[in-house]
Structure 1
Amino acid sequence: MKGAWLLASALLLAGCDQNMDAQPRYSEYSRAPLFRGSALRKPPAGAVDRDALAEQAAVRTKPPLTAALLERGRQRFDIFCSPCHGANGDGNGIIVERGMPRPTSYHAERLRNAEDQHLFDVVSNGYGAMYSYGARVPPRDRWAIVAYIRALQFSRHASIDDVPAGPRGKLVEQP
């Protein structure tokens, strides 16, 4: 009886020595005979990525214009946009010096009159030689970039009448 118990224990312990990392599996893009095609399976109909709803809401919802949003937009613009469009948005970025085609200036009449959604979509999906930043820049930061572009446009085309009365007096008094 004692020998049978030892033999059963030894067999059970021998079965526990499997390495769980070395199990048979399919690579994502390999052929899988079990599935009659690729091992990478389509999600079931109606499945939604857990982050997709929040991202869609962020894409549709333009945040309110604040100083913090403009500052964030300036930071993101300097990182992602200024190499091509230049620090002032005039299309004189470093890539022009390197022989790449000059991008359109943000101060062109066409872009000054464009909807904010158009600028957001161009940042998200790319346009012409510009590639998409949709996967690199979160939606709130894309809206911040759009707000900063609008501030750049306004700063170049503003008149003295656009300045509030208090600060306007200081500007007019200066020599």
Structure 2
Amino acid sequence: MKRPWPLHMIPGALLLLAAGCDDMSKQHKENPYASARSAPADVVQDSVEYHDAPHPAPALTLALLQRGRSEYHAFCAPCHAQTGQGDGMVVQRGFPAPLPLAAAPTRSATPEQLYAIITSGQGVMYGFAQRIMPDDRWAIVAYLYALRRSQQAMLADMTPAQRATRP
């Protein structure tokens, strides 16, 4: 059986292949749909363009917070971590770390601004408009507030009945 490559040439070929690789973590990110100039195609006549219309926030309920927790853990925790500290599993593998959710810019953001960030992305974070439904984005925003509040809770925030159960 004839080998396609002589054995003494394989290490050199592998070395040449490896020299052309980089970790791709500092590449420029451009949304191809951001402008008509860079869009891959024109909108077909008589079709409906997709626009993420403003979606009102649903009422705050326990079910909404539970849904937000579920969606946060599925879509956000890989980067932001379960605690929101920005040291999720993807970051531990070399992806740039996001700001902790309790950091000043995020802490002062309004619910509408957080919803917009989830929808369109910010920095190296891509938008989740096509991945997360609008009501679920609002659920994540509600959960972010609950998560932040849980990390900054004070004894005075507890009811007398809750304080009585503490050791």
Fold agreement, TM-score > 0.5: yes
In structure 1, distance between residues paired with 2:88 and 2:74: 12
1:87-124 Cα deviation digits (max 9, x unpaired):
11110111111111111110112211210111100000
Compared with structure 1, are the counterparts of its residues 72 and 99 closer, same or farther at alpha carbon in structure 2 (3 Å cutoff)? same
Q: Give the equivalent residue in structure 1 for 2:130.
A: 135
Residues 1:160 and 2:163 are matched in the alignment: no
Aligned residue pair count: 127
Structure 2: which amino acid aligns with 1:143? W
> Pick from 75, 84, 90: which aligns with 2:70?
75
Deviation for aligned residue 1:39 = 9.7
Which residue number in structure 2 is paired with residue 94 of structure 1? Answer: 89
Equivalent position of 2:45 in the other structure: 42
Opposite residue 64 of structure 2, the aligned amino acid is: L
Name the residue aligned to 2:102.
107
In structure 2, C-alpha distance between the alignment counterparts of 1:106 and 1:155, rounded to whole Å:
12
User: C-alpha distance in 2, partners of 1:43/1:77?
Assistant: 37
Q: Which has the higher contact order (CA 8 A, sep 6+)?
A: 2
Change beyond 3 A, Cα 1:67–1:40? closer
CA RMSD, aligned part only? Answer: 2.2
Q: 1:39 and 1:169, CA in 2 relative to 1: closer, same or farther beyond 3 A?
A: closer
How high is the TM-score relative to the length of structure 1? 0.66
Give the 3 Å change call, closer, same or farther, for CA 104–166 of structure 1 in structure 2. Answer: same
Structure with higher Rg: it is 1
Which sections of structure 1, spanning at least 5 residues, go unmatched?
1-37
- Whole-angstrom distance in 1 between the partners of 2:55 and 2:103: 26
Report the CA distance shift for 1:42/1:83 in structure 2 as closer, same or farther (over 3 A): same
**How far 1:65 sits from its partner (Å)?**
1.1
Percent identity of equivalent pairs: 37
Question: Take 1:102 and 1:40, find their aligned partners in 2: how far apart are those partners?
Answer: 36
Separation (CA, whole Å) in 1 of partners of 2:42 and 2:57: 40
Note closer, same or farther for the CA distance 1:40–1:126 as it changes in structure 2 (3 Å cut). closer
2:55, 2:134 within 8 Å by CA — same for their partners in 1?
no
Point out the structure with the larger helix share. Answer: 1
Question: Gapped runs of 5+ residues in structure 2?
Answer: 1-40
